Chains A and B, each alone.
Chain A
Amino acid sequence: MQSFRSIYASCGDDLNIQHCAFCIVGESSDDRGDAAISFCGQKSNELYVLTYNAFDLQYTLKGIAYEVDNLEPLTELFKIGFGLCDTTTLGFVETLLCLRAFKEAKSPKIGLLYIEPENYAHERTAGVLHKRDFSLTDRSQVFGAVPGSVIMVTGARRCKAAAFVGYEGDRLQQFLEQNNIPGKLCTVIYGVPAFNSGWESNAFANTVQELHERGVNSVLFAGATNPMAAYDSIKRLYQGVHGDEGLLIVPIGTKPHGIGAALFACDHETVGLVYDHPQKKKGRTGGVGTWNLYLPVF
C-alpha cells in the first residue's frame, strides 16, 4: 500500500466526497446502515449491493452470484472510476473483495465509508441471567478460511494468530476452540481507544477469562477507529514470523480493524485470514455516530 488517509466528521456532507462513479453497499440492520446507504444513494446513481455467502463460497453483485475466486466482475467495476464502499453495511469479506478488486483494477482511488455507532447494546457477561440469554439467537458460525488468504495450520508447522476482538467473547472462544492454536502463540488486539470512552471495558470483561484460561499472554492495543493502527499491529507480529511459520489473522473486532486486516492481507499474500461470518443482529447498535472516510492507495 502506498498511502492511507482518513477523514472524520460529524456528518456525511462534511466528508466532502465528490460524485462517485458507483457505490457498493451491504444490507442495513440499523440506523447508521440506513444513513450510510442513503448517503451513498446521493453520491451516485449506481448503487450496488454486494453480499458474500460463506457456505457456497460465492459473492452476489447486482443480483448475480459469482465464485469467490472470480473477481473479474468486481474488478471491471473499479476500472470505471472512483468507487465508494460502505463498510458500515458491508461485511469483512465483502470489504476485502472490494479492496482486492480495486488493487487488481489498478484504479487510482477508492473510498471506504464507515459510520460509528452512537450507542451499543452493552452485553457484558453478567452473573444474573437476562431474558436475552434465553432467546434463540442466531446460529453460531464456524470459522473458515477466506479464499485468497488461506494457510494450512498443521501440528508440525508453527502458526501464530493475531485476533482483533470486540465485545463478543464467545467469538474469540470459538476461534481458539476450533483452530487449536496454543494460547501462547496468540496475540489479542483490543480496540483502544474505543469508539466512546469506557466501551473498551466491556471487551475486556467479556474476554479476560478466556485469555487467562487459554494462557494468552500477548496483548496489543490499536485505536478502534484506526485501520492503520490495526495494520501496524499485524505488521509488528508479522515481523516476528520466521521461516515456515504462518500468521493467521482473525478480524473479529471493529470494522476499521477489519479494514486494516484486509489491507494487510492485500499487501501480504502469505498471511491467512479466518472469519466466522456472523449474522447481523437487528437493533444491536443505535444511533449515528462519527462518519469516517478511509482512502487507501495501492
Chain B
Amino acid sequence: MVPTSEAIIMTSNKLSAAFTQNRTEELSLDVWNDFVAPQFLPDLDLLSATKPRIVVGGRGCGKTMLLRYYSFESQFSKRRQNVPPEAFKDIGLYWRIDTQFAKVMYSRGVADTEWIIAFEHFLVVYLAIEMLRALDAISQANGGDQYRRQIDKLTFNSLNAYGPLYVGCAAALKEALQKDLKAFELWVSNVKKVQEPIFLPKAFLDNLIEVIRSGCDELRELSFHVFVDEFENLLPYQQEVVNTRIKHSQKPLVFSIAMKRRGFTTQKTVGEESITEINDYRLVDLEDELLESDFDLFAAEILLLNLWKAGFKNLPIHVESLRDISCLNERKDKDYRSNILTFVKTIFPSLSELDLAESILKEPSLRNALRKKIERALKERFGTSEGADELIDDDLPKESIICPALVYRRGLNPRMIKEELQRSKLGQPSKFDNWVHNNFIGCVLQIYEPYQKVCPFYAGFSTFIQLAKGNLRHLLELCSKSIGSGLEISGDELRPISVEIQAKAARQASAAFLQEVRSFGTHGNRLHAFVLRLGSLFALSQGRNGQIQPEVNHFSITGKSQLTEEHNKFLGEAVKWTVLFEDQETKVSRVRDGKQANLEYVLNPIYAPYFNISYRKRRRIELPIEEFQCLFEGDYTSVSELLKKYSKKWKVDLEESNPTLFTHLID
C-alpha cells in the first residue's frame, strides 16, 4: 500500500519528535518506557550496593538516563506491569541540583559556615519530600496494594521534636516540608529581607526513614539511594557537604553521584577527611563500560526503540525485553544480535572501500579531480604530466585512488608504480596491498576536499558508531539528521537512506556539535577556538600531497614538563567536556629520557566530518610546547602564521583546499 502524503507527513513529524528528544532532560522523570538496559547494568549494582558509586562520563553518554531509570518515578512507573518485591526494598531518589539556584547560595553577607548548614538543610528538606513522594509512588505501583495500606496508616508525630508542623500522615508531612522548601527559596532569594528559616539537621532524614521502616512491616528493610546528578556544577563547599554524605553512607541512606570526568573541585569533606576511591566509593566510567560492552548492539537497540516510539512496529526488537534485566541474556544471543545489526545497517548502509573507490571513478567530476591530482604530481616531480591515464585503472579502483600520493613519494617513480599495478592486476602479491591499507582513506578525503560534496566515508551505521565514540546523543543525532533528510517509507518498511544523505547529515551534525562547544562552561569560547585551530591543523595535514602521515587526528606535546597550571587546567576542561580524549601514547618506539609514555589527546571524532579528516585513530602530530601554546592562547596573527607555516612545510595549496576552513588564511 502506498502511503498517502498525509500519512508520510504524520510519520515524519512523529519521527522528528521521537528523535528530537534525544536529551533525557526533555523526557519526564519516568523514563521506564524510554530506557534500554545495557548488558553491564547488573555489574553497576547502583540500587543495592552499600558502597556509593561515582558515575563519570561525558555529555550524552547516558548518566542521567541511568540515574532516572533507578529513581522511584521509573521503578514504580504505572507503565511497569509487574513490579517485583525486591524493587520495594531499595528506593532510588534522583536529584539534579538546580545550578543557577545553588550558585547564589554564597557570600552575600552570610557566613560560609552558615551557608554550609543552609545547604545541608536544603538537602534534608528536598530529600525528605522525595522520600514521601516515593511512598506515594509505591502505593500506586502495580503490586503496591499491600504497601499502600500500611503507608496510609503511617504517622510521623515523633518528628515533632523538630517542630510542631512535622506531625500527621505522610501527606501532611509532605505539605509541611514543601512549605519549608518554599520558605527556603524565599530566604535564598532575599537573605536580608526574609527571616532565616530554622534549619533541619541530617538526623531528620534518619528519623524519617526510621519511622517508615518501623511503621510498615513490609518496608522494614527499606533503604534509600540518593543519586546526585551534575555534581560538577556544585560550589566547592556544596561538594564538600555531598562528599561528607558519601563518606558516611550506609544503608538505609546511601549517596551516589554522577558527573563529568574531572568533575571534582574537591574531594574533601566538611571535616578533615577526604573521600577516596575503593575506601569510600567505587568509580564507574560509563563511556568505558559502554565501549567495552557491545556498544554497537546497544546503540542499535536504542535507535530501534526510537523508531518504535515513532510508530514503526515491524522491527526486530521486543520492546519489553529491552528494559527487563532478566532478558539480558536473551539479548546476547548471536542471532538476535545479527538480526538487529543487519536491520539497522540496511537502513544506514555504508560503502565498502571498493564501493567508495568505484564511486569516485564513476563520478565524472571526481574522476577528473583524481586525474588532475596525478597530472600535477607527475609534473611537479618529473616535469611532465604525461602518463596520468595509465595510473587510473577501472579494474583497480582502490589502487588508482592512491596513485597521486605514490607519485609524490621519493623513492617511487611511475614505472615502479605501474609494475606494482600490474602485479595487483594479475593477482600477485604487490606493494599496493600495504599502500592501500595505509593511504586509501587519506587519499579519498583529499579528492573530496575542495568540493562541497561530502565524502561518503562518513556514512553508515558502523561509521556513526565510530563518530559517536560511546556518546549516545551523538549517535542519535547522526541518525536523526539522516532520517529527517532521507528516510523513505514503503508501507510498513523503512527504505535504506542513501550514503550521500547520511554523509551530509554527518557534516551537519558535526557542525552543530562544534557550535555547541561554545556552551561548554566558562571556557566554552576558548575551547571552541581551540578546536577550530586544532582541527584546521589536522585538515592541513590531511591535505599533504604524499600522504606521508595520513589520517592525523590526535596530538601529543613534546616538552610537556613545561606546561603551566593554566595549560593543564585547560586540557582538563577539554577532557571533561570530551572535546578531547586522553590516551596513553601508542607506538612509543623508544623510551624518551627514561620516562614513561606521554599522554596523547584525540580530537573527538564527532568533529571529523566538519574538518573533512579521518575519525579513525591512526596518526598523531607531535606538537612542540611553543606550538601548543600558540594554539591554546595565541592571537589570530600567530595562529595564522603557524597554520601557514605548516601549509608551506607540507606543500598544501590553500587556494585548492577546503574554502570553508581556509579562506581566512588567503584573504
A: residues with CB less than 8 A from B are 56-58, 67-70, 125, 127-156, 170, 173-174, 177-180, 182-184, 209, 213-215, 269, 274
30 A-B residue pairs with CB within 8 Å: A56-B107, A70-B192, A125-B515, A127-B660, A128-B664, A130-B664, A131-B640, A131-B667, A132-B636, A137-B529, A139-B523, A140-B520, A140-B526, A142-B103, A142-B522, A144-B103, A145-B104, A147-B190, A147-B191, A150-B101, A150-B188, A151-B189, A153-B100, A156-B130, A178-B100, A179-B100, A209-B512, A215-B21, A269-B189, A274-B100
* Chain B 197-250 residues near chain A, CB threshold 8 A: none
Contact with A68, one of B17, B108, B518, B523 (Cβ below 8 angstroms): B108
Contact with A173, one of B21, B518, B659, B663 (Cβ below 8 angstroms): B518
Q: Which residues of A contact B268 (CB under 8 A)?
A: none
Least Cβ distance of B630 to chain A in Å?
A: 11
Q: Which residues of A contact B639 (CB under 8 A)?
A: 134
Q: Which residues of B contact A136 (CB under 8 A)?
A: 525-526, 529, 633, 635
| Cα(A69)–Cα(B526), bound, Å | 33
Question: Would you call B98 and A153 a contact (CB within 8 A)?
Answer: yes
Question: Would you call A57 and B108 a contact (CB within 8 A)?
Answer: yes
Given A67-B107, A182-B25, is A152 in contact with B98 using a C-beta cutoff of 8 Å? yes
Given A153-B98, A156-B133, is A170 in contact with B512 using a C-beta cutoff of 8 Å? no
Given A154-B126, A213-B512, is A174 in contact with B524 using a C-beta cutoff of 8 Å? yes
| Cα(A51)–Cα(B664), bound, Å | 37
Tell me if B29 counts as interface (CB < 8 A to partner A): yes
A-B interface contact total, Cβ < 8 Å: 160
The chain B residue with its CB closest to the CB of A212 is B20
Least Cβ distance of B112 to chain A in Å?
A: 13
Given A67-B107, A136-B526, is A170 in contact with B192 using a C-beta cutoff of 8 Å? no
Least Cβ distance of B664 to chain A in Å?
A: 5
| Cα(A2)–Cα(B659), bound, Å | 57
Q: Would you call the interface of chain A mostly helix, strand, loop, or mixed?
A: loop
* Chain B 145-196 residues near chain A, CB threshold 8 A: 181, 185, 188-193
15 new A-B contacts at CB < 8 Å, known A134-B533, A140-B525, A151-B189: A69-B191, A69-B193, A125-B515, A129-B660, A129-B661, A129-B664, A130-B664, A132-B636, A135-B529, A135-B635, A140-B518, A142-B521, A152-B98, A156-B130, A183-B26
Tell me if B581 counts as interface (CB < 8 A to partner A): no
Tell me if B453 counts as interface (CB < 8 A to partner A): no
Question: Would you call B109 and A67 a contact (CB within 8 A)?
Answer: yes
Q: Which residues of A contact B191 (CB under 8 A)?
A: 69, 147
Contact with B25, one of A134, A180, A213 (Cβ below 8 angstroms): A180
Contact with A134, one of B515, B523, B529, B660 (Cβ below 8 angstroms): B529
Contact with A57, one of B104, B181, B192, B515 (Cβ below 8 angstroms): B104
| Cα(A130)–Cα(B664), bound, Å | 6
Q: Which residues of B contact A68 (CB under 8 A)?
A: 108
| Cα(A249)–Cα(B526), bound, Å | 27
Q: Which residues of A contact B26 (CB under 8 A)?
A: 182-184, 214-215
Q: Which residues of A contact B515 (CB under 8 A)?
A: 125, 170, 173
Question: Would you call B190 and A148 a contact (CB within 8 A)?
Answer: yes
The chain A residue with its CB closest to the CB of B519 is A174
Question: Would you call B185 and A135 a contact (CB within 8 A)?
Answer: no
Given A134-B664, A155-B94, A183-B26, is A140 in contact with B522 using a C-beta cutoff of 8 Å? yes
Residue in A141, A154, A178 whose Cβ sees the most chain B Cβ within 10 Å: A154
Q: Which residues of A contact B524 (CB under 8 A)?
A: 140, 170, 174
Question: Would you call B126 and A128 a contact (CB within 8 A)?
Answer: no
Question: Would you call B108 and A67 a contact (CB within 8 A)?
Answer: yes
The chain B residue with its CB closest to the CB of A153 is B98
Question: Would you call B108 and A147 a contact (CB within 8 A)?
Answer: yes
| Cα(A131)–Cα(B100), bound, Å | 33
* Chain B 54-109 residues near chain A, CB threshold 8 A: 94, 96, 98-101, 103-104, 106-109
Q: Which residues of A contact B436 (CB under 8 A)?
A: none
Question: Would you call A173 and B107 a contact (CB within 8 A)?
Answer: no
- List 9 A-B pairs, minimum CB-CB distance, nearest first: A140-B524, A150-B189, A174-B519, A69-B192, A170-B518, A180-B25, A67-B109, A144-B103, A145-B100
| Cα(A147)–Cα(B101), bound, Å | 9
Question: Would you call B529 and A133 a contact (CB within 8 A)?
Answer: yes
| Cα(A138)–Cα(B518), bound, Å | 11
Question: Would you call B192 and A134 a contact (CB within 8 A)?
Answer: no
Q: Which residues of B contact A214 (CB under 8 A)?
A: 20, 26
Q: Which residues of B contact A140 (CB under 8 A)?
A: 518-526
Question: Would you call A147 and B25 a contact (CB within 8 A)?
Answer: no
Tell me if B489 counts as interface (CB < 8 A to partner A): no
Tell me if B320 counts as interface (CB < 8 A to partner A): no
The chain A residue with its CB closest to the CB of B187 is A150
| Cα(A33)–Cα(B639), bound, Å | 32
Tell me if B307 counts as interface (CB < 8 A to partner A): no
The chain A residue with its CB closest to the CB of B185 is A152
Q: Which residues of A contact B525 (CB under 8 A)?
A: 136-140
Least Cβ distance of A38 to chain B in Å?
A: 32
Question: Would you call B181 and A170 a contact (CB within 8 A)?
Answer: no
The chain A residue with its CB closest to the CB of B189 is A150
Tell me if B548 counts as interface (CB < 8 A to partner A): no
Tell me if B626 counts as interface (CB < 8 A to partner A): no
Q: Which residues of A contact B667 (CB under 8 A)?
A: 131
Q: Which residues of A contact B190 (CB under 8 A)?
A: 69, 147-148
Least Cβ distance of B629 to chain A in Å?
A: 12
Contact with A155, one of B29, B181, B516, B536 (Cβ below 8 angstroms): B29
Contact with A along B564-575 (1 / 0, CB 8 A): 000000000000
Least Cβ distance of B22 to chain A in Å?
A: 9
Q: Which residues of B contact A69 (CB under 8 A)?
A: 108-109, 190-193
Tell me if B532 counts as interface (CB < 8 A to partner A): yes
Given A152-B181, A170-B519, is A139 in contact with B29 using a C-beta cutoff of 8 Å? no
Question: Would you call A174 and B518 a contact (CB within 8 A)?
Answer: yes
Contact with A along B492-524 (1 / 0, CB 8 A): 000000000000000000001001101111111
Q: Which residues of A contact B130 (CB under 8 A)?
A: 156
Least Cβ distance of B16 to chain A in Å?
A: 9
| Cα(A152)–Cα(B97), bound, Å | 9
Q: Which residues of B contact A133 (CB under 8 A)?
A: 529, 532, 664
Question: Would you call A153 and B521 a contact (CB within 8 A)?
Answer: no
| Cα(A143)–Cα(B130), bound, Å | 26
Least Cβ distance of B479 to chain A in Å?
A: 14
Contact with A128, one of B94, B100, B659 (Cβ below 8 angstroms): B659
Least Cβ distance of A220 to chain B in Å?
A: 21
| Cα(A69)–Cα(B126), bound, Å | 25
Q: Which residues of A contact B133 (CB under 8 A)?
A: 156
The chain B residue with its CB closest to the CB of A66 is B109
Q: Which residues of B contact A137 (CB under 8 A)?
A: 525-526, 529
Question: Would you call A149 and B519 a contact (CB within 8 A)?
Answer: no
| Cα(A204)–Cα(B126), bound, Å | 39
Least Cβ distance of B188 to chain A in Å?
A: 6
Q: Which residues of A contact B103 (CB under 8 A)?
A: 142, 144-145
The chain B residue with its CB closest to the CB of A185 is B26
Q: Which residues of A contact B106 (CB under 8 A)?
A: 57
Question: Would you call B519 and A177 a contact (CB within 8 A)?
Answer: yes
The chain B residue with its CB closest to the CB of A177 is B519
| Cα(A273)–Cα(B100), bound, Å | 10
Q: Which residues of B contact A180 (CB under 8 A)?
A: 25, 96
The chain B residue with its CB closest to the CB of A275 is B100
| Cα(A76)–Cα(B260), bound, Å | 46
The chain A residue with its CB closest to the CB of B230 is A180
Least Cβ distance of B662 to chain A in Å?
A: 8
* Chain B 613-667 residues near chain A, CB threshold 8 A: 633, 635-636, 639-640, 659-661, 663-664, 667
Question: Would you call A173 and B516 a contact (CB within 8 A)?
Answer: yes
* Chain B 518-565 residues near chain A, CB threshold 8 A: 518-526, 529, 532-533, 536
Least Cβ distance of B262 to chain A in Å?
A: 17
Least Cβ distance of A212 to chain B in Å?
A: 8
Question: Would you call A155 and B185 a contact (CB within 8 A)?
Answer: no
Residue in A132, A133, A141, A152 whose Cβ sees the most chain B Cβ within 10 Å: A152
